[in-house]
Amino acid sequence: MNRRILRLAIPNIISNLSVPLLGAIDTAVVGHLDHVYYLGAIAVGSIIFDFIFWGFGFLRMGTTGLVAQAYGARNKRETRVILMRVLAVAWTGSLLILLLQYPLIKLSLIVVNASPEVEEYTTLYYQIRIFATPATLTLFSINGWFLGMQNSKYPMMITILLNILNIIFNLIFVLGFDMNVDGVAWGSLIASYIALVLAVILYKRKYGGVKLEMDLKEILDPVELKKFVTVNRDILIRTLCLIFSYAFFTAKSAEMGDTILAANTILLQLWYISSYGVDGFAFAAESLVGRYKGARDQEKLGQAVKYTMFWGIGLGALGTLVYSIFGEQIMYVFTNKTLVIEMGLGVLVWTILAPLINSVCFIWDGVYIGATATPAMRNSMLIATVLFFIPVYFISQPIVGVHALWLSMTAFMVVRGLTLSLWAPRQIFNKSLLQAIRKT
């Protein structure tokens, strides 16, 4: 089982870490430009696209769980139908986003009360990158399908190419052509479409394309469509809560001034790096739990849960150790602004604790998605957001200032991990499965 987990997880970790690496390099490049508001614009612009793109994260997560179960049940035809179904949703969503792009940016800037300079360059960044939407949502769908088919190699290849190209283009445009946030946006746009071309090539190479005899009746089958909608609705709500927490964090940071916004942006990059690493094992959990649930193999399902949790927490502990030793040195990589570094060091302790604390809820997310136990995952996120994240911030902010943002984020992650752990015996396991886990 450990071998299967690592075979899936290692490519996922490699590809996942390339995502925050891109954000880290963007932050480092922009963080060394003349004005700190460039970094603020990238932070606010990224949050806007987090709302837009992560809001459609169910295209990846929901697809993986459903396809993995069809794969475990050896229903090849259903795996193809799910792909067509999710692509139809992705293309419809892309069209709606492009049609609504103007009110989306206006509303976003009203919500985020940033400085005039940050708003100006956020708008510039947004107006370019928004046209990457069709490629991004299609890639979500295809990568989720690959993972459900127990193929983590292809998403790794696609994601690595995407982010390497993104980094290269960003360096060329920003450092070579003397651009700023517009160079970062153009890099993202061009890289997204090149990565999409690779995804289509890889799909056709291994899976031979979608069967022509599949018709609209199969895609719109009422029973399967209801399951598809239910799972993805719950994941959407869960994802919107997650996005809200990060957006709230960034918006409140912006209200505290460009220096705090810049410092918190850098530290959030370190959160992303650790979370994307642990998510490699969460993605493995999605694939394996879905596969064994579809195959009705209770013993292997239990082993998959136990060992992915072990590996995820271990990697989280390693992240905490690295940040505790090298946290200050890492900050100097991102910026040479003394005030930003001093501000970041003042709240660094929260980033040191984050990898170990957060790893529990990340792995449970993968387990629940693979088992399509999405209502419980949704409820956990709502409880963590409404009953803890928001109240903790407003209660503690007058007392501890900027630390309240980090305290509320930490409480948010702890509550997610606790609720998902407490609900797992009823939502994921049954009596025979619990016995199988104890034997392993």
Instruction: Give the CB-side neighbour count of residue 138, counting CA atoms within 13 A.
Output: 19
Query: Which two structure tokens, joined as six digits, stand for 8?
Result: 């899936």
Q: How many domains does the chain have?
A: 1
pLDDT for residue 202:
93
The whole-angstrom separation of Cα 162 and Cα 14 is 13
Query: Which two structure tokens, joined as six digits, stand for 119?
Result: 């708003």
CB atoms within 10 A of CB 51: 18
Domain that holds residue 408: 2-439
Please give the average per-residue pLDDT across 214-221, as a whole number.
66
pLDDT for residue 403:
94
pLDDT band of residue 407 (cuts 50, 70, 90) is: very high
Q: What is the pLDDT of residues 288-306, one digit of tens each?
A: 888 888 788 878 888 889 8
Tell me the residue type at 51. Answer: F
Query: Which two structure tokens, joined as six digits, stand for 290?
Result: 């879905």
pLDDT for residue 28:
67
Per DSSP, the residues of 164-189 read HHHHHHHHIIIIIS---HHHHHHHHH
pLDDT band of residue 321 (cuts 50, 70, 90) is: very high
Backbone angles phi, psi at 353, to 5 degrees: -75, -25
pLDDT for residue 354:
94
16-20, 142-146, 365-369, 412-416 — most confident range: 412-416
pLDDT band of residue 437 (cuts 50, 70, 90) is: very low
Q: Is the dihedral of CA 339, 42, 358, 308 positive or negative?
A: negative
Q: Name the least confident of 39-53, 64-78, 322-336, 351-365.
A: 39-53
The CA–CA distances, whole Å, from 16 to 9, 94, 269, 273, 361 equal 10, 23, 13, 8, 17
The CA–CA distances, whole Å, from 310 to 101, 245, 304, 316, 356 equal 43, 27, 10, 10, 12
The whole-angstrom separation of Cα 124 and Cα 180 is 10
